[in-house]
Amino acid sequence: MATVVAVIASTHHPFYYRASTATGEDRPPFADEWTSKILAFRETLTRARPDVLVMVGSDHFHQLWLDNMPQFLVGKAPFYDANWYNEEREFGLPRMLLKGQEDLSGHILRAGLDSGFDLAFSNELRIDHSITCPIITLRPEADLPIVPIYTNIFAPPLPQPKRFVQLGQAIRDIVESWPSHLRVAVIGTGHLSLELGGPRQFGPHGPDPEFDQRAVEWIANGDLDGCLREVTLDSLHSPGNATHGFMDFMLMMGVAGAGAKADYVDTLDLFHTMEAYFTWYPNGAPAA
């Protein structure tokens, strides 16, 4: 059966690519520290030697709109065009073409349905920065096949936080039941406190540093019970109007497992958000 060799959760800041590649006067003052942290974070995936990446993210109203909004969707295509025109224009993100792992996509869909998750699927999915940003930061060669999984964190009615956790637990079980010798890394991205278009968007840090601190502690310690006691669909409005993306972090806590302490934790306060990086090795840390 397949082996889950790494579980990785992070934020997906779309400006990293531009900041890290800028030179001279165009290079922001925080770029060197940010790049250094990303290089260390990247090594946690490299050490795991994955063959396939299962990528969890959320479409930012690029392909999925209010006329047809699935709660959970699995890509099932031989390849995926990546990044949209506005992401190229606003963030400087490159166009990408990513290979798909159709067999694993099919296995997740079949086993997911049989496990009580009515998963949607798409054979013509174009993906955005919630998935390409972690590829840029963690595997810039973009040479590994992927299975993209999109969650609905934007368009109410949203699934409850516990459903994200349950899906994460199911993804772990399903991947480990895939009849394959391949090594799989499950990577998901979300938000800590985040404000978009509101009065708290451009502060010196995220809009709710206290929430960010609690969130990092929940994730780092695998404290699913504590997280689920405090986090509700209503409570996530308070830290910032886009904080429901934290539920993708909760999904990844489900993949890692209740009580699983992260093997790698790092954060960086930027001008309007806290960046956060976590890695778990389910079978123990690989040799350096």
Provide DSSP, 108-172.
HHHHHHHTT---EEESS--B-HHHHHHHHHH-TT--S-EEEEEE-SSSSSPPPHHHHHHHHHHHH
Query: Does residue 102 form part of some domain?
Result: yes
Q: CA torsion sign, 72 to 78 to 80 to 81?
A: negative
Cα(96)–Cα(88) distance, integer angstroms: 11
* pLDDT band, residue 203 (cuts 50/70/90): confident
Length of the chain equals 288
Query: Does residue 26 form part of some domain?
Result: yes
Mean of the pLDDT values across residues 127-135? Answer: 92
- The pLDDT assigned to 268 comes to 95
Query: Does residue 80 form part of some domain?
Result: yes
Alpha-carbon distances, residue 138 vs 65, 150, 165, 275, 278 (angstroms): 29, 19, 23, 14, 12
Residues of the domain holding 176: 3-280
Rounded to a whole number of angstroms, the CA Rg of the chain reads: 18
- The pLDDT assigned to 118 comes to 95
pLDDT in tens, 180-197: 999 999 999 999 999 887
Query: Does residue 266 form part of some domain?
Result: yes
Sequence letter at residue 166: Q
Question: In this structure, what CATH number is given to the domain that contains residue 169?
Answer: 3.40.830.10
* pLDDT band, residue 199 (cuts 50/70/90): confident
Question: Residue 184 forms beta bridges with which residues?
Answer: 4, 52
| Number of separate domains in the chain | 1
- The pLDDT assigned to 281 comes to 98
Query: What is the rounded (10 degree) CA torsion for 77, 80, 86, 92?
Result: 160
184 or 128, which is more confident?
Answer: 184
* pLDDT band, residue 279 (cuts 50/70/90): very high
Mean of the pLDDT values across residues 107-126? Answer: 96
pLDDT in tens, 10-29: 999 888 989 899 999 999 99
Q: CA torsion sign, 144 to 150 to 154 to 155?
A: positive
Query: Does residue 287 form part of some domain?
Result: no
| Sequence-separated (6 or more) residues with CB below 8 Å from residue 67 | none
* pLDDT band, residue 83 (cuts 50/70/90): confident
Q: How far is CA 106 from the centre of its chain?
A: 21
Closest CA to 31 of 15, 55, 43, 47: 15
Query: Does residue 288 form part of some domain?
Result: no
**Both ends of the chain: CA-CA distance in Å?**
25
- The pLDDT assigned to 143 comes to 97
- The pLDDT assigned to 252 comes to 98
Cα(206)–Cα(273) distance, integer angstroms: 4
Enter the pTM of the model. 0.95
Asked if residue 284 has pLDDT above 90, the reply is: no
Query: Does residue 148 form part of some domain?
Result: yes
Query: Does residue 247 form part of some domain?
Result: yes
Paired sense of beta strands 72-75 and 120-122, if any: parallel
Closest CA to 260 of 232, 227, 229: 227
**Are the beta carbons of 168 and 75 closer than 8 angstroms?**
no
